[in-house]
Homo-oligomer: A and B are copies of this chain.
Amino acid sequence: MTDETMTIREMCETFDVTPRTLRFYESKELLGPIRQGQKRLFTRRDRARLKLILRGKRFGFSLEEIRQLLDLYDMGRSKEQLAKSYELASKHLAEMEAKRDELNQAIAELQRQLEWGARELRNQENGAAA
């Protein structure tokens, strides 16, 4: 781990992924490690991006969707690019908020289900004891 960069192994251990995964993400332009000769050196930027990638995956986003989100996280400077990124980001934000609401609803339903289950369990114990 020279300076601010990490080797592929260090990345794998830190984020619990395989080398293959990191190379794959690079091939998909999700990561852009610098090269020291042949070897990859992952920068702070790569680490931040990987964190976002893994998070995105947990929420069911495809790698392609994630790639767009990422590009938007380092907001291309070219005035028009920035505006476009801003647009995209807004949409994603709305999508995520909708997802959160739906998730909250799902949680509430599951909680009701659990309470019902708890009641059933108590009833069965009483019934068995009688």
Which A residues form the contact surface with B (CB < 8 A)? 55, 57-61, 72-73, 75, 79, 82-83, 85-86, 89-90, 92-93, 96-97, 99-100, 102-104, 106-107, 110-111, 113-114, 116-118, 120-121, 124, 128
This chain: copies in complex: 2
The docked-state distance in angstroms from the alpha carbon of A79 to that of B104 is 29
CB nearest to A103 among chain B residues: B100
Residues in B whose Cβ lies below 8 Å from that of A79: 124, 128
Residues in B whose Cβ lies below 8 Å from that of A59: 59-60, 99, 103, 106
Quote the shortest CB–CB distance from A88 to chain B (angstroms): 10
Residues in B whose Cβ lies below 8 Å from that of A97: 107
Which 9 A-B pairs give the minimum distances between C-beta atoms?
A: A60-B60, A86-B117, A100-B103, A93-B110, A79-B124, A96-B107, A89-B114, A59-B60, A75-B117
User: Can you report 24 residue pairs joining A to B where beta carbons are below 8 Å apart?
Assistant: A55-B102, A55-B106, A57-B60, A58-B60, A58-B102, A59-B59, A59-B106, A73-B113, A75-B113, A82-B121, A82-B124, A86-B114, A89-B114, A89-B117, A90-B114, A93-B110, A96-B103, A96-B106, A96-B107, A96-B110, A99-B103, A100-B100, A100-B103, A100-B107
